Every structure is written in C-alpha cells, then in structure tokens.
Structure 1
C-alpha cells in the first residue's frame, strides 16, 4: 500500500475516469446479481409453481423484501395470466432477463472504457516523469547504474505498473462489489445455506494465498534480469566496432543468452504460479458448489425449507461468486508482480538529485570579470582527483590545462558546469558561488565541446540548434562557416536537413567534431570549454578543427583541456597538472624556459611525432 500511495498522485488527474469506472462497476455488480435473481420467477412460471394471489402486497421494509418480492410476483402473474395465452407472462420474464443481461454488459463495457483512459494516462505521465527525472539526475548516478537498467524501468516496469499494479482499482471495486451483492442475494434466498458456504470460503482463500507467496521476490529478480540484458544490448550496439574488431560476437552472444536464459527460467516460474491461480480457485469453488448441492438438495427434497426455483437461482449465484473470486486471486498475483515493478520505478522517481538550483539561486546572464576556483578538493567515490586546487581565469583569457591522463583536467570542466559538485572549496563566477547561480543560467554561460562528438539521430540543423532552438537557417549556416563545416554540409543531398544517422555515424570523425563546434558557436556563450576537442582526430581533420576552434575562441574566455600541446601554445596561461595539483603555470615560452614538467611533455610529444 505504501507504493500505491506514492503512485496515487499520478492517478489524481484522472479521478473523474476513476469515479465513472466505480459508478459503472456498481451497476455491473447490481445487474450481475439481478440476472440470477430474475431466474426464480421465470422458473416458477415455467413449471407453474406460482402461488395464486389476488391481493396487492404491502412493502414492510428491507427485512421482509424476500416475502414482498414473492407476493408481488404471484399477484402480478395471477392478475395478468390469460388462460388462453399462458406464454405472455413467460415472454415478459424472458424480456426482463435479456434486458438485465444487456444492461450488465453495457455497464461492464462502460467501466472498462473509462478505466482505459486512466490506465493509459498514468502510463504516459509516469513514463514522462521517469524520463524527466533520468535527464535531471547527475552524471554520478549513471556511473553506478547501468543505462539499460534505467531503460528497462522506463519501458518494462512502468508498463507492468500500468497493467498489474493498477489492477488494484478493479480489485477493490468491481469484483468485491459483485461478491457482496451476490452474497446479499444469497442471504435473502437462504441465510442458513449461505452461512454454511462461509465455513468453506476462508479455507479456499488460504489455499489459494499459499500459491502467491514468493511471487514478488521472483518478479523483482525477473525485472532486474531484464535490465541486465537490455544493458548488454545498449552497450554492444554502441560498441559494435570493438565487438566485431576483436571477434567478440560469440562472447557477447553467450553473455546475452545467459541473461535471457535466467529471465526465461524466472518468467516460467512466475507464469506457472500465476497460471495455477485460476484453476486452483475454480477447483475450490466447484468443491464449495458440490457441498452446496448436497446440503441444499437436502433442504429442497427432505426438509422442504427451500423451493426448487430458489435453489436453482441460488446455485447460479454461488457460481457467480467464482468468476470474481478467480479474478481477485489472479489480480492479487498481478499486484504482487506490479508491486515489485513499482518499487523499481519509485527508486528512480525518489532518487535525490544533489545537483539542483538552490531556492535563492540568482539568474546570471552575463560574464563580466573572472572565474575563481578556490582550494577545491574533489573525489569520485573513494578516488581523490583534485587536492587543494586554486586557479583564477580572467575574462577574455585562454587558459589551457595540460598534464598526463588522470591528472584531473577533465574534472575541472565537469565541476565548472556543475555536472558534479566540489567536496570542499568553492568555484565562483564574478564573485558569485556557482552553487548560488540558477543551474540553467550557469550552463547558458558556457559552451562545451567534448572529445567524443555527441550527436543525435536527427538532421544537422536539429543537432546544431540544441543551444538555440529558434535559430534560423541563416544563423545555422553562419555557425557552420565559423566551424569550418559549411563546405561539406552544402554538398550533402539535403544540406542542413540531412539526417546524420545514429550518433552521426554517416559522417567522419572530423566532420562530427566540426558540427559539435558549430553547435557551441550558435549558442554563442561567453565562456567556452574545450575538453580535448582534437585528441581523437587524425592530423588532417585536426587542422580543419583547430582552425574552427581558433575562430570560435576569438573574443571569448576559453578553458582548453589539451592532450596535444601544439594546439595550445598561444594560450594566455598554461596550467600544468599532476595528480590533481598544479605543478607549473605560465605562458608557453615561460614554461619552456623553466625546463620542468611542461618542457618534458613537449619534448616527449615532439619525439613521438
């Protein structure tokens, strides 16, 4: 119920559909019961067992409703039967029964019609909330979680909540009401026989409940396994070149098949337990019916305390309990399975997002003076990356961060953009701590070009316009020219409307990187962060990209994280990092003159080239 309470806010916008569903379910339960009660007069007319009664009965309250019903019926039949046309009353009875069954089925359809809007609405809203939360969560979350597992939760688990967990709405209205109304009708016909039935119902319920044990635990394992094989798909599709290049198809195939085998075994266990619910509940129900036939038969034939027509209708009512009882037992297993899915969905929705705008965060639209990094310490989980790091970057400066892999260069870029937060110390822009700047406005001040060109399966225009969604075609073209990309784009069949494929795979590495630069150019931020933007390129592509970068960095504050030192010799300040600390800083000429770490790095790269 705790999980249901947390999901309840998703149901609230569709409460009118819930109320309409409840209303029509009440009608369904009522007509379902009346359809069997209407059999009594029809059987009595059919076998001419109706008492003769010429006096209009008087209603004396709910306690005497059975007697009133019987007396009114006998009065109606006595006064309306024509000796020459005995079939008239029977025709009326048949018409009434058909009408009741029609109303019952119309109510059932209406109830299902309205619940469909609720279930699909909850599915859509929950999926939207999951995706929104997945975008908002910090990058640190995805270093611990598999992306495929998150995809599994957004697709499979949310769908499971919709189909199974929301079955509780049917569980608490339609089926229980059908049972309650049926039991009331059974009590009216024969209280003694109904009390006899109640002795066997708890026993049946206990036996059925035993079957459902462990179902939630098994369902959780199955959903986790689904996340595992979806992760395998996502990882192998993304790294297909490596998989094929290393002849690893068989290895990944075996990993995937092992996961689907475990999912297969768990699904069989869950499915077989669920499948057992229906026959088990039906068998227990038929056992109760058999006992009723024996005990009720004695009341009709020996004790003479119950008439035959009432007993036949009673047996129909008793069987009428079986269908909702089966539905409840089946739905209760669905709820267990859905509960496991709900926990996985809520784990994402309840995940605390540590990197958010504070309540008193200020909007900042301009960069006027400097970026001040003061005594920051940072570690990824247990690995310390930056130790007591301080640096000041003045407006208009180009500052390059260099050093061996693992020295903490890219971490600076991640902290400036607040992809991660510092553990100690502070980062300020124009004297304002970035934690006190609205997150969106902070990132609006910065353009980011990464080593990996992150592009999406869309047109060139859509990819470039991410930083300025209302950009015109002319603005896109201008950004492409600055990024040195216009020449190859204009030769494409659709120009800027050409789809570049999954991750931009229809383009070369240099072309993709120039589009990434065009995206940053169009955004036109005052601060540009280049995270090893040319390190993955060949020499020819690097020249094109470097020209584009030089154009883009004009009249901007630029932070360049460089692997190839030849690209940053003109920087105003070069910061040499080693194991999270600054070991040297100055211009290219100053650092060469010092003959220290930077000079060694330059010498090594010159020797390599």
Structure 2
C-alpha cells in the first residue's frame, strides 16, 4: 500500500472534498442501516406473526439499544393498528421507508458529487507534476528512454491511477462505514452469530489476497508492454519515408504485430483476474450466508436462545446489506493492486534525481563581459571519452569555428556550453564564473542555439519565433524575421505571421524552417550564439539565404560555429580543428591553409581549395 499512500499525498490540497465525502458517506451508511431496521422488524406485527406491544419500552442502556429501537417501532405500529387499523400502520411504514431511502440516496449522491472534484483535481496535478518533471530532466535521461514510454506514463498510467486508485477512494470510505454500522446492528441483535461471521471473513480475505498479488505482477508487465506499443507507433509514423524507401513495411508490421500479441495476452490475463473479483466475492458471500443460516437456524430452534425468529429475519437482511459493500471492497482491492503497477512507473519518474540541478549558491548572471574559458575538460557519454584534456578560450565579440570529422566532439562542445550535460573533469567558465555556479535558466538566457534540425511546433509562425521570449512587439518580430531572411516568404503565406506551420513545421521547406529558427535566435538577442551545423542539411540556394542570415545575426556578438561545410566559416577569427576529442590545429583560414595539415585536407576533400 506504500505506492497508494504516496499517490494520496496529491489529494491533500483538496481534503475539504474528502471531509465532505466522509460526512455524507457516514449519513448514507446510517440511513442505509436504518432503512432495513425500520422496515423488517414491523413486518411481523403487520402480518400478525409477532406479538403486539401495548406499553412504551424503557431504555436500559446501549446494550439494549437494538431491542429498544425495535420495540419502539412495534409500539407505534401497534397503537396505529388499534386506533386506525392495519392500513394506517402500513402507511406509516411506507412513509418511513420512503423517507429513509430518499435521504440514503441523496447522501450517496452528495458524497459522490464531492469525490469527483477530489479525483479530477488530483489527476490534473499529477499530470502537471509528471510533465514538469519530464521537461526538467536532463537530456541524458532521454537518450536511455523511449518517447513512447514517457507518453504512456503521462496518459495510460495516469488514467489507470484514476480508474484504479482514485475511483476506489469512495468505495474505501463508504463501504467500510456501511459494514461497520451494519455489523454494530448485527452484534446488538446476536453477538454469537456475529462472532461466527468474523471467523468466516478472514478466510475469504486470504483467498482474494493471493489472487490480487498475481494481478499486480501482470499489470506491471502490461504497462511496460503498452509503453513499447506507443513507442513503435510514434517511431513508425515519424519515420514513414525511411520505412517506405527501404521497403521495410513488412518488418515493421511484424514487429508491431508481435507487440500487439503480447499486449493482447497480458491484457486478457489482467482482465480475467480482475473480472474474477466480483463472482468470487459473491460466491464466498453465499457460502457465508449458508453458514449463517445453518448456525443461526440452530440458535433460533434452541429453546433457551435469546434470538427470536423476527430478529433472525432482520439479521439475514442486515447481512445481505453488507454483501455488496464487501464485494465492492474486494473489487477495490483488486483495482489497487492493478493500479500499483502504474503508480510504480509514475513514482519512478518523480523520484528520478536530476544530476544537473542548480546548486544552492548558484547566481543569476545577466551579462557577458570578457571571455568563455574551457579549461582542460574531459567528457564521456558512456564508457569512452569523447573529449580529452580539451582547452579553449573564446574572447567576447569573436567568431570561433569548430571543424572536424564526424565523432570528433564538435557538437559535444555545444552540449557542454549550454550545460545540457555536465563535464567529467576540468571546468567551463564565463567571465571567470564556473557555469555550474550559474543558474541554468540564467546561463541559457545568455546563449542562443541554432541546430541542424529545425525544431518547430504545431503552432503559428509568430508563436514559433517568440518561443520562450516575452514582451516583444510585432515590429520587433518582423525585424528579427527580416534579419533571418524569413519575412519575404512569411508575408506571402495565407495568414502571414499567424499561419499555422503544421506538425514540426511540415508545411515549410527545410530552408524556410531553418530561417524561422534563426529568427527565433535573433529575437532572443543573446550575447553568445552557438550554431551547430546550421546549414549542413540545406540545398545550395537555401544555404546562401541562411548563411546570409547567420552573418547578419552574428554581427557584434560572440559566436561558436560548428561547421560541416567549411565554406561557411572562412571569415572566422579562429578555426579550431578537432580530431578524436582533441585539438590538432587552430588558426585563421589562411594560416591553416599555409600549414598544409589536417584543415587543408578537409578543404581539399570538399573541393574548395
């Protein structure tokens, strides 16, 4: 139940709804029991099977409460029969029953009404906190997890929490209250018979518990398989071009069908065990009823027994009153075991430590004044070092280019400067302040990033350009688009800057998408600009437009340019040539050409010498 308790913590802000639910469930339970007690005992008098009471009963304390209540009702009915006949007594019983059942169901509705608020508010908060956790986790976390798994936890697992945990809350409040009040009434009628019932109930509990443990294990496997199911859908639909071009449709379909088969098998197993809860508990309840009839019948037939036939009749009615609550509790217990699998997966993410947290003494840095210093750093993603003893100084206002073959560590520098990852050795500082001592939000406000992949959202052009940037006027947005050479194509679109660009910007060409990314960086106007192969995926015409936009953007600011096409960085103040995580050459374009080393070979390979 530990997971259940931890999820319940998220209901605490809405405890007023829980209190109201408990209040109305108490009233429901009381009226539920009274609706039986008020109706059954008087049947004997109405049909002349019990002795009529002519004198008012006396209250002799709590132990005689049951007899006192029944005799009081019998006395009133007896008086009515004597004065007005059986029809008046029947009218009283009917009116009393109607009154009790009306308020019983009213209180049940009010209890359910308030629990809905608690459920919905809690689910909203859980979705929010889980999504916030995912957004704040560092990039290394997502290199090991599938996106489909994250989607599954935010959707399917949260839905399961609602269905299995929160939907059982009212059951776990209302039904035990009903059982408690009913058992008190049963105990007052016959202590011996009620003790006999208590001996039978634990046996039922043990049987249900053993099956529910297996349900939890199956549910955990089901949720994991559901993650794989969502992942393959997401991967397949986003990679249709590659799948079709390599005629891999059958391979992907077989992989999908295998996961669906596993999902079918596990879902069937879970539902079979879950559906067993209701008939099993009902059958166990029937066994208990038969045992009560046998044991109670013997008590009634005993000459010196205190249990009268009409009391035994009432007792059976009360016991039937707790059958449905008992069945509901056992079903809820199954549901909680099923929900445990989802709770574990949600809590696993919420408990994940973020290794890139701001330290307590981290500062806000709002300006860049002198230099960025990369001092003897080493870094590895897994086992092998990608960078080894790497050092570089980037003065303010200079353009530094990083070149080299794939895998030389160029893009890793961009990831470390933005603190998407933390270095293993050495330090990176801005104006002498280690970036680990600068708040991440503050650090990234100083930097602008344009990557090879244009990351755009299914939204308007205006909202894509202003992503994370507040209080910018339309004129400033247009000016940024002009600098990025994007204004001309934007104004020709049907709705201009309010045009929706589709999923990932698929309504635009590659060059247009990249120019929007540049416009976003221009509007942010950071003192440090990082360009990670921003033109490598473009055709020649688009590259010229984008390169022109980049040159405008880099004027009067510090720029770190990671380049695959060497023609784009010939004007750099310093070109750093990297190989296997180390610097092998550095200098201006002319200096490196004259050295006739690695850089000159790279230039010649691109036929630009």
- Structure 1 and Structure 2 fold alike (TM over 0.5): yes
Give the equivalent residue in structure 2 for 1:543.
544
| Contact 2:42/2:77 (8 A) holds in 1 | no
Q: Report deviation, 1:9.
A: 2.8
SS for the counterpart of 2:375 is: strand
Query: CA–CA distance in 2 between the matches of 1:70 and 1:389?
Result: 91
Q: Which piece of structure 1 moves more, 247-256 or 295-304?
A: 295-304
TM normalised by structure 2 equals 0.97
| Contact 2:213/2:337 (8 A) holds in 1 | no
Q: Could you list the per-position Cα deviations for residues 402-450 of structure 1 after superposition, in whole angstroms to 9, with x for gaps in the alignment?
A: 0000000000000000000111111000111111111111101111000
SS for the counterpart of 1:39 is: coil
Give the equivalent residue in structure 2 for 1:478.
479
Give the equivalent residue in structure 2 for 1:91.
91
| Contact 1:25/1:174 (8 A) holds in 2 | yes
Query: CA–CA distance in 2 between the matches of 1:336 and 1:292?
Result: 31
Query: CA–CA distance in 1 between the matches of 2:441 and 2:74?
Result: 80
Q: Quick check: 1:433 aligned with 2:441?
A: no
Q: Report deviation, 1:41.
A: 3.2
| Contact 1:454/1:516 (8 A) holds in 2 | yes
Distance verdict in 2 for CA 1:142–1:210, change over 3 Å: same
Q: Could you list the per-position Cα deviations for residues 55-93 of structure 1 after superposition, in whole angstroms to 9, with x for gaps in the alignment?
A: 333322111112322332333234333455321122111
| Contact 2:80/2:86 (8 A) holds in 1 | no
Give the equivalent residue in structure 1 for 2:253.
253
Q: Report deviation, 1:312.
A: 2.2
Q: Quick check: 1:525 aligned with 2:526?
A: yes
Give the equivalent residue in structure 2 for 1:207.
207
Q: Report deviation, 1:171.
A: 4.7
Q: Which piece of structure 1 moves more, 199-208 or 135-144?
A: 199-208
Q: Which piece of structure 1 moves more, 565-574 or 228-237?
A: 228-237
| Contact 1:527/1:556 (8 A) holds in 2 | yes
Give the equivalent residue in structure 1 for 2:188.
188
Distance verdict in 2 for CA 1:76–1:453, change over 3 Å: same
Q: Which piece of structure 1 moves more, 141-150 or 57-66?
A: 57-66
Q: Quick check: 1:29 aligned with 2:26?
A: no
| 1:234-245 aligned within 5 A | 234-245=234-245
Q: Report deviation, 1:455.
A: 0.4
| Contact 1:467/1:520 (8 A) holds in 2 | no
Q: Which piece of structure 1 moves more, 38-47 or 393-402?
A: 38-47
| Contact 1:218/1:266 (8 A) holds in 2 | yes
Query: CA–CA distance in 1 between the matches of 2:28 and 2:78?
Result: 32
Q: Report deviation, 1:278.
A: 0.6
Give the equivalent residue in structure 2 for 1:360.
361
TM normalised by structure 1 equals 0.97
Distance verdict in 2 for CA 1:14–1:74, change over 3 Å: same
Q: Quick check: 1:41 aligned with 2:34?
A: no
Give the equivalent residue in structure 2 for 1:554.
555
SS for the counterpart of 2:374 is: strand
Q: Quick check: 1:372 aligned with 2:380?
A: no
Q: Report deviation, 1:101.
A: 1.4
Q: Report deviation, 1:107.
A: 1.4
Query: CA–CA distance in 1 between the matches of 2:93 and 2:422?
Result: 78
| Contact 2:55/2:75 (8 A) holds in 1 | yes
SS for the counterpart of 2:58 is: coil
Give the equivalent residue in structure 1 for 2:327.
326
Q: Could you list the per-position Cα deviations for residues 294-315 of structure 1 after superposition, in whole angstroms to 9, with x for gaps in the alignment?
A: 3333444564743333222211
SS for the counterpart of 1:361 is: coil
Give the equivalent residue in structure 2 for 1:604.
605
Q: Report deviation, 1:52.
A: 4.0
| Contact 2:53/2:71 (8 A) holds in 1 | yes
Query: CA–CA distance in 1 between the matches of 2:312 and 2:90?
Result: 20
| 1:306-317 aligned within 5 A | 306-317=307-318
SS for the counterpart of 1:466 is: coil
Give the equivalent residue in structure 2 for 1:289.
289
Q: Report deviation, 1:51.
A: 3.5
| 1:88-487 aligned within 5 A | 88-301=88-301, 303=303, 305-487=306-488
Structure 1 segments of 4+ aligned residues over 4 angstroms from their partners: none
| Contact 1:467/1:519 (8 A) holds in 2 | no
SS for the counterpart of 1:455 is: coil
Query: CA–CA distance in 1 between the matches of 2:59 and 2:189?
Result: 17
Give the equivalent residue in structure 1 for 2:596.
595
Query: CA–CA distance in 2 between the matches of 1:31 and 1:246?
Result: 70
Query: CA–CA distance in 2 between the matches of 1:351 and 1:83?
Result: 76
Query: CA–CA distance in 1 between the matches of 2:179 and 2:476?
Result: 68
Q: Could you list the per-position Cα deviations for residues 324-356 of structure 1 after superposition, in whole angstroms to 9, with x for gaps in the alignment?
A: 111111111110111111110011111111112
Query: CA–CA distance in 1 between the matches of 2:210 and 2:528?
Result: 64
Q: Which piece of structure 1 moves more, 166-175 or 312-321?
A: 166-175
Q: Could you list the per-position Cα deviations for residues 10-62 of structure 1 after superposition, in whole angstroms to 9, with x for gaps in the alignment?
A: 11111001111111111222222111111233312321245444433332211
Q: Which piece of structure 1 moves more, 526-535 or 89-98?
A: 89-98
Q: Report deviation, 1:279.
A: 0.5
Which consecutive residues of structure 2, in runs of 5 or more, have no partner in the other structure? none
Give the equivalent residue in structure 2 for 1:571.
572
Query: CA–CA distance in 1 between the matches of 2:244 and 2:475?
Result: 41
| Contact 2:31/2:101 (8 A) holds in 1 | yes
Q: Could you list the per-position Cα deviations for residues 506-525 of structure 1 after superposition, in whole angstroms to 9, with x for gaps in the alignment?
A: 11101100010000000011
| Count of aligned pairs between the two proteins | 608
Query: CA–CA distance in 2 between the matches of 1:383 and 1:94?
Result: 84
Q: Report deviation, 1:203.
A: 2.1
Q: Which piece of structure 1 moves more, 168-177 or 9-18?
A: 168-177
Distance verdict in 2 for CA 1:128–1:68, change over 3 Å: same
Q: Report deviation, 1:167.
A: 4.3
Give the equivalent residue in structure 2 for 1:72.
72
Q: Report deviation, 1:212.
A: 1.7
| Contact 1:42/1:90 (8 A) holds in 2 | no
Q: Report deviation, 1:160.
A: 1.0
| Contact 2:532/2:561 (8 A) holds in 1 | yes
Q: Which piece of structure 1 moves more, 40-49 or 234-243?
A: 40-49
Query: CA–CA distance in 1 between the matches of 2:469 and 2:147?
Result: 28
Query: CA–CA distance in 2 between the matches of 1:507 and 1:66?
Result: 80
* CA RMSD after TM alignment: 1.6
| Contact 2:42/2:74 (8 A) holds in 1 | no
